[in-house]
Amino acid sequence: MEAKLIGLGVETFKLALYLSLPMLMGGLIAGLLISIFQATTQINEMTLSFVPKILIVVGIIVFMMPWMMNMMIEFTTKLLNMIPSFIF
């Protein structure tokens, strides 16, 4: 019983990491490229770094939404199927 709960917790953290990783990597790469651009042109405008990152993250969310929903539905289905094993 405890092993199942620990495994479920680990799987939950893995799923959260898998779902957030594309957005985090997109924002990281965009931030790096924008920082390099700002350093070479000596432009220090806050909106120049903020707006493109937001647009890239939103674009990644829109593009990856079917995959993300599929992963969440599979996890939820597995979780709901495991409920009887936790009751008894």
Q: Percentages helix, strand, coil for the chain, rounded to the nearest 5?
A: 95, 0, 5
Is the pLDDT assigned to residue 9 strictly greater than 80?
A: yes
> What token pair was written down for 32?
């790096």
Is the pLDDT assigned to residue 88 strictly greater than 80?
A: no
What confidence score (pLDDT) does residue 18 get? 95
Is the pLDDT assigned to residue 26 strictly greater than 80?
A: yes
pTM of the entire predicted model? 0.79
Domain limits, the chain: 2-83
d(CA 41, CA 60): 27
What confidence score (pLDDT) does residue 44 get? 81
> What token pair was written down for 65?
């939404």
Q: What is the pLDDT of residues 32-75, one digit of tens each?
A: 999 899 889 888 887 888 888 999 999 999 999 999 999 999 99
